[in-house]
A and B are shown apart, each in its own frame.
Chain A
Amino acid sequence: QKEVEQDPGPLSVPEGAIVSLNCTYSNSAFQYFMWYRQYSRKGPELLMYTYSSGNKEDGRFTAQVDKSSKYISLFIRDSQPSDSATYLCATYLVFGKGTRLSVIA
């Protein structure tokens, strides 16, 4: 089993929708979790990081960690066409495959 699993999508939503992106991980020792956004042919850009369980909010973005189920989520409210990108979850040196998101105007 891969250490971090992520549905690659693609995911297509209309502008203004709430987007939910999810990952699962296998190692219960992981404590820090990151979300990165990657535009085509660019390096990943750090969006948010969370420690242990709970929620963290930053503008339209909310990151959520549920350690009991080894599940991490990123929610995007009021999605915009500029949010169209690949979203990568990560924990200690390990990345998911990324979910490709398209927000349609």
Chain B
Amino acid sequence: DTGVSQDPRHKITKRGQNVTFRCDPISEHNRLYWYRQTLGQGPEFLTYFQNEAQLEKSRLLSDRFSAERPKGSFSTLEIQRTEQGDSAMYLCASSEEGGNTIYFGEGSWLTVV
């Protein structure tokens, strides 16, 4: 049984560029979550999916951020026109439907220069 997988693990990009992160959840989990974490802070909720439906979005998710889960399996998180303030670790997690415990991947580190 593989855990939550994220790719790429590290990304350095110039301000203004677009970046995309991919997440593959645990195979039997139909809920998928995106969080953002900066140094010294806990993970901040961005959005979550149940199957392919995006059920909840945080106010943190500005219009430069978009997440998709087209077939209810893997998900992508795209950040357009990156800003230095977007530098953070982007965490993906998954859970069973109705499950209250979520399991995280190792995260994707973004550095915007």
Contact = CB atoms under 8 A, between A and B. Distances in A.
B85 interface: no
Interface string A35-79: 010000111111001010000000000000000000000000000
B41 A97 contact: yes
Nearest to B48: A93
Interface size class of B (residues with CB under 8 A): 20 to 34
A39 B44 CA distance: 17
B42 A98 contact: yes
Interface in B10-52: 33, 35, 40-45, 48
Nearest to A97: B42
Contacts of B40: 8, 97
Interface string A67-105: 000000000000000000000101011111110000000
Nearest to A45: B104
A41 to B, nearest CB: 8
Nearest to B105: A43
B100 A44 contact: no
Interface residues of A, number: 24
B38 to A, nearest CB: 11
Given A6-B42, A8-B40, A42-B107, 8 more contacts: A4-B42, A32-B101, A43-B104, A93-B45, A93-B56, A95-B44, A95-B45, A97-B41
Nearest to B41: A97
A92 B10 CA distance: 28
B103 interface: yes
30 contacts: A4-B42, A8-B40, A31-B100, A32-B100, A36-B104, A41-B89, A41-B109, A42-B106, A43-B4, A43-B91, A43-B105, A44-B43, A44-B104, A46-B101, A46-B104, A49-B101, A88-B42, A92-B100, A93-B33, A93-B45, A93-B48, A93-B56, A94-B45, A95-B35, A95-B42, A95-B44, A95-B45, A97-B40, A97-B41, A98-B41
A13 interface: no
A19 interface: no
